[in-house]
Amino acid sequence: MSVTVGMLYPGFGAEDDYPFLEDALGGYARVPLVHTSVGVDAHEVEALLDLGKSERLLEGAAALKASVPDAVMWACTSGSFVFGWEGAHQQVAEIEAALGVPVSSTSLAFVEAVRALRFTTVAVAATYPYDVAQHFAQLLGTAGIEVLELVSHDIKTAALAGELDHDGVLALARSNDSPAAQAILIPDTALHSARWINELEAALGKPVLTANQVTVWQGLRLAGEIHSTDRLGTLFRDAAVLPQ
């Protein structure tokens, strides 16, 4: 059985993570992607509120209908967490009403992934400036997840985050290897990460959750079919729901 999880992905950055994720899942899942419109590419609160506004997401959702998705993800961390806990849920509720299928976002996927692994403490290694990254920590806190340490790298745009290579992503992950944290969270779907999750976990000695990884996992969870795989870190090994 195949399942289709539609992705609403803002602009361009690490969208090539998604074909890799399809392959790593063994071909049972399709993740068609629609690029939603972007006003100003900036890791600034006002720009991110504009990025995640209803008009942009509903326009993208209309384009996804042709893929007949079983579930849909707003594949953006910052463009969801800046709306806060209630706002992030309202954001996906509007898309859900338009498409009639389950919908979530990357920020909410991080919450569900941490809960699925039964963790309560995390560290965050963020690409964003500190004032933006704090909104992510606040959303996690609202969900009952304690952020023990938050490190910000002050990368100004999604495009620049997308330029980080293997060594840059590894250095970012290592920048917040908080010993007491049960997992390291690396938000930003513009950041390449999917190919290196197992390596990141080996380097840090604990689970690592990255934006594109948790986005696909959450979409599959909503669609009701997650196969276990050893290629995508602890999350897909220990928090997969095997089909009956």
Tell me the whole-structure pTM to 2 decimals. 0.93
CATH class of domain segment(s) 3-109+212-238: alpha beta
Instruction: Provide the 10 A C-beta neighbour count for residue 32.
Output: 17
pLDDT over 50 at 242, yes or no: no
Ordered by start, the domain boundaries in the chain are 3-109+212-238, 112-209
pLDDT per residue over 4-50, tens digit each?
999 999 988 899 999 999 999 998 999 999 999 998 877 888 888 88
Report the sign of the C-alpha dihedral through residues 71, 74, 75, 78, in that order: negative
Averaged pLDDT score across all residues of the chain = 91
Fold agreement (3-109+212-238, 112-209)? yes
The 3-class secondary structure across 196-237, one letter per residue, is: HHHHHHHHHCCCEEEHHHHHHHHHHHHHCCCCCCCCCHHHHH
pLDDT in tens, 118-128: 999 999 999 88
Which of these CATH numbers, 3.40.50.1980, 3.40.50.720, 3.40.190.10, 3.40.50.12500, describes 112-209? 3.40.50.12500
